[in-house]
Each structure stands twice: as C-alpha cells, then as structure tokens.
Amino acid sequence: MTDLTITAETREAATQEALRRLRLPLEALEIEWSEEEPDGLLAGARPFVLMNVRISLDYVAGVVAECVRNLLERMEIRAEVEVQCPDDFVLVGISCDRQENLIGHRGETLDALQHLVIRMTHMGGRDMPLILLDVGNYRKRRIERLRRVARDLANLCLENDREEAFDPMDAIDRKVVHTLLKSVTGVKTYSRGEEEHRHVIVAPDK
C-alpha cells in the first residue's frame, strides 16, 4: 500500500488530517513520525512534524474476512473463513462442503467473488494490498508455484544481469508476481504485451 505523507505544525493536526482524508478510524492506521527541530529551520520558519501513514494490513485483513463471512451467509453457504497476510497481501481461505460451486469453471466463480469483495472493501481512496480468496487451497497451490518460478527468475536476473520473462498469465497471477518480487533487492518487475500475451518481466533494478 502506498504511504500518505502529511506535514503539519503538530502531531494532533497531522493525525486529524489523515483521518479526514482516509475516512478511517485511528486503529486502521500505521503511523511513522519525524520532526524538524528549530535548529534545522530557516530563519522565521516554524517547527513542523512529518507524518507517514498507511492503512494497516491487519485492519484490511479483518475487514475483508468479515465481508467474506457476510457474503457467504447471504449465499446460504456454511463455511469457515481464515485470513493470512503472507508477502504483504491478504489471503482469505474458505473451507466448506460446496467447494466446487465456489470455485466454478477454471476458477471463474471464485474470481467473481474475489472481485466483489475487493470492490466492497476498498477504503480511503488509497492503493490497497492484493486481496485473494482461496477455496480448498485452489489459489494457494498456484501461489506456491508462482513463488518458485519468481524466485528462480529473480536469481537468474541477478546472476546474468539481464531481463527474464514469465509465460503469459492472467491479471491476478501478474499481480501476485509483482507483489512477491517487490521486496527483492536488485530487481524490478513490469508487465509487457497485450491481452492474452501479457506477461511479467523481471529486470535488473539499476
């Protein structure tokens, strides 16, 4: 999630501005502070505080889990919902007796439900973490395969100092790859190609 930076004369003023912009409770925010001391200011300038704030991943996970539970209840599906936050994304696991109905043909029903949850839980007009719904480890197995390939391609990129390409994949898988590799030092990722040929490139970050 992208940080929001706010400058104000006091911490209280900065906090109130963050709450106004994001329209979220204080417990939803992760805050880091820095202060400009008088000795470091130009003559006549007032001391100020600098606030870097982002929406807590744990808070997002809780909101998403509650949304999924409510949707499943409306669909009259009895299920257990478990949420995890690996690699800075939210993974919601669903266990139920009608797994094939929730997954659908090639995961189409699961993708639609996931899209609905993302729309319903978008908050504060800010960038959100990647949110994934999983049923019977259908998505988790795919993530583990992508993780192995991403690690191998990142290592090749670093060893050979050249771009490496994934096979074409859908938008969800591309987002997973971007998220998995964003914290790897020395590489960057971007997408290339159109429609069914669109794929992820791992490139040296110089």
Whole-angstrom distance, CA of residue 147 vs CA of residue 176: 9
pLDDT tens-digit series, residues 100-117: 888 988 888 999 999 999
pLDDT at residue 47 in the model: 61
Helices marked H in 28-187 — which ranges?
57-74, 99-103, 108-121, 138-160, 171-181
Whole-angstrom distance, CA of residue 45 vs CA of residue 49: 13
Strands (E), 74-206: 79-84, 90-96, 131-135, 164-165, 187-192, 199-204
User: Helix, strand, coil proportions of the chain in percent (round to 5)?
Assistant: 50, 25, 25
Q: What is the pTM of this model?
A: 0.78
Task: Give me the residues paired with residue 96 across strands.
Answer: 79
Question: 49 and 35 in contact (C-beta within 8 Å)?
Answer: yes
How crowded is the C-beta side of 170, counted as CA atoms within 13 Å? 6
pLDDT tens-digit series, residues 38-94: 555 454 456 678 889 888 999 999 999 999 999 999 988 899 999 999 888 899 999
Category of 107 on φ-ψ map: left (φ > 0), alpha (ψ -120 to 50) or beta: left
pLDDT tens-digit series, residues 111-140: 999 999 998 988 756 678 889 999 988 888
94 or 37, which is more confident? 94
Whole-angstrom distance, CA of residue 117 vs CA of residue 91: 12
pLDDT at residue 126 in the model: 66
